Amino acid sequence: MSLTQFGPVYSGRASAVRAGEVILSLVASGLVGMRGWAGVRRLQQPYDRSLQLGLDRLAAQCVQAGSSPPVGVADLVGVWCAERPVDSWPLEFDPDAQVSGERLLIGGEPSEFCQEWAVEARDVVAEVHENALVKHIKDTAAQLGRPELYARWRLFVTEHAVLGPDEFLAAKNAVLDVPQWPTWLEESYGPVTVEASAGGQVAVCGGCGQWIAPRANGRVRCRVWRCVQRHDLPEPTWTEAQGARLLEPELVRFVALPGRPELDLARRLAARGARVVLYPKLDALDLVAFWPGGHSIGVDVKDWHSPYLLARRIKTFPRWGSGDPHAYRRGYLVVPRDRLRANRSYMKILTQRSKALQEQPHIEVVCDDDLVASCPDLGVMGEVICGP
């Protein structure tokens, strides 16, 4: 098969579904690649290559289906992605993909649906920077015999989206016995750009704790799914932009935002008396918790909009012998309650579609509220620590 073709030749429904998923993923990846963390501001911006590839394949599919294709990238972005739900495109999808009514752009920004499909083909900058930095920190922590350093770095960046100059200096000097630590912080945070500030200040969301780039009209409103849904979202706090540092966009997207529900669960368990170890063994699990009575659990938290895509991402839980300090008796894959409220078939699709879960019957899929409720509350405060 020639690589210069618009797309591969498929036969059968399964192949048609795969073709649709490839096109959706390319277009979604292109939109996210255009956006960074600051948003798709102008159609005059250089187009991500994935967007052009997605357009080429979509156009070929439209011709094959006898329908009119998008007239260039501007039409694809401004009309197809912003106004037309994906199920109106001439593509086939598995029913469990739940594309009905979903749009790739909402209010000029990539929707959560869009961002998750883009994960299948992440933009090059994020792939290189986030993956390379995380790998470097893990490797260095392992070489130093200090695996807790990775957990400590991850905890810090999850909790600190914006740092003033004095805060940034203090953060770099927080681990004086590890000369690599300041470099990790330098690579994790960048200077405030013009697009990220408004009136000489940077906004930090009162819900998710991440920095908010003002929209083209100057409005400051968080785009994170949970924050968009909230009617009681606290007003953002503001930090002087002069000399401040912002968490790099790819770390916001792939480390800090996923880390929020992980930390929330850890602290709720600790409030009931559990001892919670974050990211043990260089993130082999999100956390291991020890109940007040000694029962132990291993947990991975999965905060995804699409159970169909999540099912592909679940991996085998590690098993450690009884003599290991992080050995656990029961494994749990935890989904936040609000995901289940928004999608009644979430658990069914996830368990039926995940080969990893089928091969690990000892792993139970539960919502966060139910797991917290299962921890005995003896009225004694536990603790959350960074795991070795």
Each residue of 22-38: pLDDT tens digit? 899 999 988 987 765 34
Please tell me the predicted confidence (pLDDT) of residue 154. 96
Structure tokens, 3: 């690589």
Alpha carbons 154 and 327: distance in angstroms, whole number: 22
| CA dihedral over 83, 88, 93, 97, signed as positive or negative | positive
Tokens representing 38 are 């600051």
- Convert the pLDDT of each residue in 15-25 to its tens digit: 788 889 989 99
For the chain, residues with pLDDT lower than 50 are 1-11, 37-45, 121-125, 128
Q: Is 220 exposed, middle or buried (0-12, 13-18, 19+ CB in 10 A)?
A: middle
User: In sequence order, which ranges of the chain are alpha helices (DSSP H)?
Assistant: 13-35, 49-65, 72-75, 82-83, 112-118, 124-143, 148-159, 165-172, 181-188, 225-229, 249-251, 257-271, 280-283, 307-313, 337-342, 346-353, 355-358, 368-374
In this prediction, residue 209 carries a pLDDT of: 94
Widest distance between CA atoms in the chain? 67
Q: How many of the other CB atoms lie within 10 Å of CB of 386?
A: 18
Judge whether 302 and 334 are in contact, CB under 8 Å: yes
**CA atoms of 247 and 154, how far apart (whole Å):** 12
User: What is the reported pTM?
Assistant: 0.82
**Cβ(161)–Cβ(210) under 8 Å?**
yes
What separation in angstroms does the CA of 46 have from each of 29, 279, 310? 14, 38, 31
196: which residues sit within 8 A by CB, 6+ positions away? 37, 38, 202, 211, 213, 241, 246
The pLDDT value given to residue 1: 31
Nearest-angstrom CA–CA distance, 263 and 59: 44
DSSP state of 191: E
**In this predicted model, what pLDDT tens digit does every residue of 144-174 receive, in sequence order?**
999 999 999 999 999 999 999 999 999 999 9
What pLDDT is recorded for position 14? 66
Using a 10 angstrom Cβ sphere, with 0-12 exposed, 13-18 middle and 19 or more buried, the burial of residue 26 is buried
Name the nearest CA neighbour of 22 among 88, 92, 105, 72: 92
Question: What are 385's strand-pairing partners?
Answer: 277
338 close to 226: Cβ distance less than 8 angstroms = yes
pLDDT at 43: 44
Q: What does residue 56 show for φ and ψ, rounded to 5 degrees?
A: -60, -45
